[in-house]
Amino acid sequence: PVAVTFSVNLSPVITASAPVACFGDSATLYAPAGFTSYTWFPFLQTTDSIRVSPGIYYVQVTDANGCVGFSNDLNIQPSSIAV
């Protein structure tokens, strides 16, 4: 018998539709296509995109083999305003 070892690196990169300019604005976050399931945190919404307000978000993905991966946190905040 031959043993085959492989590693799977599931590190999806979240993209945003646009920067959030002000508090009260929102953006749509997207996870890459090709996974069988998606779970956005902290909402536990299960789509490949989500509409959000300022905050910190990440997504868990699962591929067709049942392997699970997580994105890095994405901090959606408006730009500083100089006064």
pTM equals 0.79
pLDDT single digits (tens) 29-82: 999 999 999 999 998 889 899 988 888 999 999 999 999 999 999 998 887 665
Q: Would you tell me how many other CB atoms lie within 10 Å of the CB of residue 64?
A: 8
CA distance 16 to 19: 7
DSSP label at 59? Answer: E
Query: How many residues are present in the chain?
Result: 83
CA distance 33 to 38: 10
